[in-house]
Amino acid sequence: MVDTAPTRNGCYHVNRKLLPIKAFYFFFLAAVGSLLPFIAIYMKSLGLTSSEAGILYGVMPFLGFFIRPIIGAVSDRWHKHKLALILFSVLTGVFYLLILAIPARVYPRLVVHSQLDCNVHDSYFQDCVSLSDKSVDPSTCDIGLSEFADHFSNSSSDFNCSVRCTEREDSVGDEVGACFTDSTEPFRKHCNGSSVANKPIEFELLNISHVLNNEVMSSRITMGTLHCRDYDLKSLRFDSKQYWQLLCDTAGFFKCEIKCETPPKQLCQSHTHEFDATFFWLFLVYLIANLVFSPVFSLADAANFDTLGKKHHKFGEQRLWGTVGFALLAIASTFTMYMMTNRGSSVDYTVPFYIFTVLCCLAGGSAYFMDLSSNVKCGSFFQNFLTLVCIPKVAVFLMVVTYFGMATGAIEGFLFWFLLDLGATTPVFGLSLVINCLFEVPMLYISGKIIKRTGPVPCLYLALLAVAVRFLGYSFLHDPWLVLLIEPLHGVTFGVMWAAASTTAAILAPPGMSATMQGLVGGLHFGIGKGAGSLLTGFLFDRVGERVTFQIYAIVSVCLLVLYFVLNHFVFKSHLTPQSSPDTDGKSDQSQENVPNDRPLLASSHAIPDKMCDGHPLPEMNHA
């Protein structure tokens, strides 16, 4: 038996019985921080579309909503909570590691066709297409420069392209002499740079946007079904040297192939590739990984409350170590990927998977040293479910909580996807996670004072407004680094929101149903809401675009804010006042509860709520 008495080493007070709990939260949430924020963009690197990623990322929270209470009930029945916690922690690491065995979807390399017109004054690509022509076979991924430019206009990322031009067969006259030069004067008798003659002209475009953003609009013409566009040619590299432009000693006309190494993948994607072997294998492995992952937090919380005994108010002190682990490994994992990317052309995601597996095993090892009683319980998630949702005020509140979950699913699943399309590098991802934590934790600590002064429902109004501003800000981003100015709002959209939602749930819960209410709030937010948000966002990204999707969320947030305000003030005609919220010292009104200590501690400025900046819930508060 582990000594439960605190020991004193110098000025530090250590409770040895609680060390395994702290270690478990640290290691497991460190694992979460090292990998899970990047799962959506890893799916993107495998070649999945946003719709497919939305399905994969969205279905899993639904399953967790139902699997978690089933596993908890089985553990309660056989009193094997420690064994279940160890087993599911280790299996989580193993099955996530198996995702690496799934091969990426292979798309053909993009080849862009155009015509190069070159003379003594300048050179430019001229792209003429017949509007009646059908698209080229998508399996070849051969497109015209105009089509490429239209796709590229939706992305601010940039990349190099190689160009190979041969003189057109219908060209007449003498051979054309080409000159790569930095001179801005017309071509003279001698080339002031590097000359090319009697062979195909091959060079690199250092910055494709230099071409696409310098379309000569005055030269755009449409004659019948023929549509022509000209693009000024600048910023070239020939024979390992950089030049400003290409000139020719006489008028020349060339047909060119432009091959780009890392173009936007959607250009080479076709819906005929969706839901192939890559998708279904990933769905299967990811499904199993999430099934074993889903009950871990409920089991850990049950063990935590059992170990604490009557000192439930110290729950946050143990859970805080998980936040520390999450933040540290999110930073470490991000910059590990960044350093490895400098040695290659693409981000290497393999290291976070290995780190995740090792940390999950260490978490399982920590669980082995937990000293649990035979009375530990995981609670009943679906108890009195229908009774609660049939109360109008409760039903509307749960609808609002579910929407907050949808917003969480949209941000966690697709914000990094969007930033990657803007050309973001891995430090942007890591710093955004750090800012989330830095602003969330202080807001959680002061949320109790805010709720006591204003009441919990006004805090939900504020959170809805902050969600609207946050999504609207995303929709206008062009520089991915500017997202760091928006992410502090996470302190309000989750920190204040979750404390207010948990407090509101405690106040609205009928006598004896506080634990069920808290479990329902957590399940709807992190299960149904998060899953629905991921599915919907993936679909909208694919159909209406990323910016419009974020604007839709902003509009819906404002509409829900107005609706919730009107219902509370003119229909229900009763308010949750600051005086009716739980006391800020974490004590509860026992007159309305049949189970002691059933009120949440979330309104307290000294307590940490069920979910920290790692993005995962602790859905039931009454485990003991």
Residue with more model confidence, 213 or 421 = 421
- Give the residue among 508, 236, 497 at the shortest CA–CA distance from 393: 508
- Give the residue among 503, 489, 498, 494 at the shortest CA–CA distance from 456: 503
Please tell me the predicted confidence (pLDDT) of residue 346: 64
Instruction: Mark whether 93 and 146 lie in a shared domain.
Output: no
- Give the residue among 496, 517, 457, 455 at the shortest CA–CA distance from 609: 496
Q: Tell me if 2 is assigned to some domain.
A: no
Please tell me the predicted confidence (pLDDT) of residue 573: 66
Q: What is the pLDDT of residues 427-437, one digit of tens each?
A: 898 889 889 88
What does the alpha-carbon distance between residue 313 and residue 602 come to, in Å, rounded to a whole number? Answer: 10
Other beta carbons within 10 Å of 455: 22
Instruction: Mark whether 432 and 570 lie in a shared domain.
Output: yes
**Domain end point (choices 268, 285, 310):** 268
Residue with more model confidence, 168 or 494 = 494
pLDDT at 2 over 70: no
Please tell me the predicted confidence (pLDDT) of residue 158: 62
pLDDT at 576 over 60: no
Q: Tell me if 291 is assigned to some domain.
A: yes
pLDDT band at 32 (very low <50, low <70, confident <90, very high): very high
pLDDT band at 610 (very low <50, low <70, confident <90, very high): very low
Domain count of the fold of the chain: 2
Q: Could you tell me the residue range of the domain that residue 356 belongs to?
A: 14-105+270-592
Give the best-scoring range by mean pLDDT among 107-121, 545-559, 595-609. Answer: 545-559
Please tell me the predicted confidence (pLDDT) of residue 537: 92
Percent share of the chain, pLDDT over 70: 75
Average pLDDT over residues 576-601: 39
**Which of 47-51, 319-323, 395-399, 572-576 is least confident?**
572-576
- Residue 255, classed as helix, strand or coil, is strand
pLDDT band at 512 (very low <50, low <70, confident <90, very high): low
pLDDT at 40 over 80: yes
Please tell me the predicted confidence (pLDDT) of residue 624: 27
12 DSSP β-pair partners: 9
Q: Tell me if 498 is assigned to some domain.
A: yes
Q: What is the pLDDT of residues 397-417, one digit of tens each?
A: 999 999 999 999 999 989 999
**Domain end point (choices 223, 244, 268):** 268
Q: Are 507 and 494 in contact (CB under 8 A)?
A: no
What does the alpha-carbon distance between residue 74 and residue 352 come to, in Å, rounded to a whole number? Answer: 32
What does the alpha-carbon distance between residue 533 and residue 550 come to, in Å, rounded to a whole number? Answer: 12
Average pLDDT over residues 313-329: 76
Q: Tell me if 282 is assigned to some domain.
A: yes
Q: Tell me if 383 is assigned to some domain.
A: yes
Instruction: Mark whether 154 and 78 lie in a shared domain.
Output: no
Determine the number of helices (DSSP H) and then strands (DSSP E) in the chain: 20, 15
Buried b vs exposed e over 478-516: b needs ≥16 C-beta within 10 Å? eebbebeebbbbbbbbbbbbbbbbbbbbbbbbeeebbbb
pLDDT at 617 over 70: no
Please tell me the predicted confidence (pLDDT) of residue 309: 72
Instruction: Mark whether 577 and 451 lie in a shared domain.
Output: yes
Average pLDDT along the chain: 78
pTM, entire model: 0.68
Instruction: Mark whether 72 and 133 lie in a shared domain.
Output: no
Q: What is the pLDDT of residues 64-116, one digit of tens each?
A: 777 777 776 777 677 777 888 899 999 999 999 999 999 888 766 677 888 88
Instruction: Mark whether 435 and 474 lie in a shared domain.
Output: yes
Cα distances (Å, whole numbers) of residue 162 to 206, 262, 297: 9, 11, 51
Q: What is the dihedral of CA 412, 414, 419, 420, to 10 degrees?
A: 110
Residue with more model confidence, 8 or 88 = 88
Q: Tell me if 124 is assigned to some domain.
A: yes
Instruction: Mark whether 283 and 247 lie in a shared domain.
Output: no
Please tell me the predicted confidence (pLDDT) of residue 159: 67
Average pLDDT over residues 225-243: 85
Q: What is the pLDDT of residues 263-298, one digit of tens each?
A: 555 566 554 566 778 899 999 999 999 889 988 877
Q: Tell me if 605 is assigned to some domain.
A: no
Q: What is the pLDDT of residues 464-478, one digit of tens each?
A: 999 999 999 999 999
Residues 323, 329, 334, 335: is their CA dihedral positive or negative? positive
pLDDT at 342 over 60: no
Please tell me the predicted confidence (pLDDT) of residue 574: 53
pLDDT at 125 over 70: yes
Average pLDDT over residues 138-157: 66
* CATH number, residue 83: 1.20.1250.20
Instruction: Mark whether 258 and 401 lie in a shared domain.
Output: no
Write out the H or E segment, with its range, that includes residue 241. strand 241-243
pLDDT band at 262 (very low <50, low <70, confident <90, very high): low
Average pLDDT over residues 21-47: 89
**Which of 18-32, 136-150, 237-251, 382-396 is least confident?**
136-150
pLDDT at 376 over 90: no
Instruction: Mark whether 57 and 190 lie in a shared domain.
Output: no
Instruction: Mark whether 416 and 486 lie in a shared domain.
Output: yes
Give the best-scoring range by mean pLDDT among 54-68, 535-549, 597-611. Answer: 535-549
**Domain end point (choices 216, 248, 268):** 268
Instruction: Mark whether 427 and 562 lie in a shared domain.
Output: yes
Q: Tell me if 613 is assigned to some domain.
A: no
pLDDT at 218 over 90: no
Q: What is the pLDDT of residues 164-208, one digit of tens each?
A: 998 877 665 667 888 999 888 888 778 888 888 767 888 988 777
pLDDT at 55 over 60: yes
Percent share of the chain, pLDDT over 90: 22
Alpha-helical segments (H) within 369-495: 385-389, 392-421, 426-454, 456-475, 483-486, 490
Instruction: Mark whether 153 and 277 lie in a shared domain.
Output: no
